[in-house]
Amino acid sequence: MKKILVLEDEPNIRSFVVINLRRNGYEPIEAENGMDALSQLEKNPDISLALLDVMLPDIDGFEVCRRIRASGSKIGIIMLTAKSQEIDKVTGLMTGADDYVTKPFSPAELTARVDALIRRLGNDAGDKPSYEISSGPFLLNTRNRTLEKDCKRLKLTQIEYLLIKLFMENPGKAMSREDILRAVWGEDFSGELKTVDVNIRRLRIKIEADPTEPEFLTTVWGFGYKWGY
Ligand code: CA
């Protein structure tokens, strides 16, 4: 039975959702606030999908969504938005939600959305397609040469793309500047090793929260660099 997290602070709505999910063959896991939801997800790593209410007593549903995605989780997320305002839907989808249902909703509508998303997730054979490399909050798509951090697209030059691809393909491996130069610029490149440093610096500005204290692309002193995540 697929586990579904139901985050909703109003007991009436929560039990209404839970009953309907059970009736449709799902195993609901209940949470009444944002922090509770995050700890339930930790306790139940096999949860397939989460229904997240937006207005909650502690952290809001968008923040819960953001934290789920920041942890690298690819579970299905449906936002339960109270208002029918477009802004809620847009924010929800931008923070990494897959779908949204506007309250009040009928049991049939909710289960139809849940079924559809479960089907969609199931069709993505395996965990992730072979052209995707994920690491922490990053998702690199080698088919269309794009990088996302926390589901947000980062604009990279082709050199920066090749650099981050090299690092994400070799997590934890210390790479010398010579190795990096050869792998990214090619054997015939006659430029200086400084070229590597300059481009790493630019890449850090795009991917690190604080480029002077890099958390992901770290320096290996006197040697080169490492994907430290
Ligand atoms: Ca609420």
Stretch among 64-78, 117-131, 157-171, 184-198 having the lowest mean pLDDT: 117-131
CA of 171 to the centre of ligand 1 (A): 41
Please report which confidence band the pLDDT of residue 116 belongs to, taking 50, 70 and 90 as the band edges: confident
Burial letters 174-188, b for 16+ CB under 10 A, else e: ebebebbbebbbeee
C-beta separation of 7 from 51 below 8 A: yes
CA of 8 to the centre of ligand 1 (A): 6
Q: What's the confidence (pLDDT) of residue 107?
A: 87
CA of 46 to the centre of ligand 1 (A): 25
Report in angstroms the alpha-carbon separations of 184 from 16, 52, 60, 165, 166. Answer: 56, 42, 43, 9, 8
* 182-211 mean pLDDT: 92
Q: What's the confidence (pLDDT) of residue 119?
A: 84
CA of 99 to the centre of ligand 1 (A): 17
219 pLDDT higher than 50: yes
CA of 113 to the centre of ligand 1 (A): 20
Q: What's the confidence (pLDDT) of residue 129?
A: 61
Q: What's the confidence (pLDDT) of residue 50?
A: 97
CA of 111 to the centre of ligand 1 (A): 19
Q: Record the tokens describing residue 61, joined without a space.
A: 């549903």
Q: What is the distance, to the nearest Å, from the Cα of residue 86 to the centroid of all Cα atoms in its chain?
A: 23
Dihedral of CA 182/174/196/144: which sign?
A: positive
CA of 78 to the centre of ligand 1 (A): 14
Extended beta strands in 73-143, E state = 76-81, 99-102, 132-135, 138-141
CA of 63 to the centre of ligand 1 (A): 14
77 pLDDT higher than 80: yes
Comparison of pLDDT for 84 and 218, the residue scoring more:
218
Q: Record the tokens describing residue 27, joined without a space.
A: 């195993």
Q: Which amino acid is at 188?
A: D
* Cα angle 139, 167, 128; round to 5: 30
For residues 177 and 145, give the distance between their C-alpha atoms in angstroms, rounded to a whole number: 23
CA of 25 to the centre of ligand 1 (A): 25
Residue 55 CB neighbour total at 10 angstroms: 15
pLDDT, one tens digit per residue, over 13-48 is: 999 999 999 998 999 999 999 999 999 999 998 999
Indicate the pTM of the whole model: 0.54
CA of 103 to the centre of ligand 1 (A): 10
Q: What is the distance, to the nearest Å, from the Cα of residue 46 to the centroid of all Cα atoms in its chain?
A: 16
Q: Which amino acid is at 206?
A: K
CA of 141 to the centre of ligand 1 (A): 36
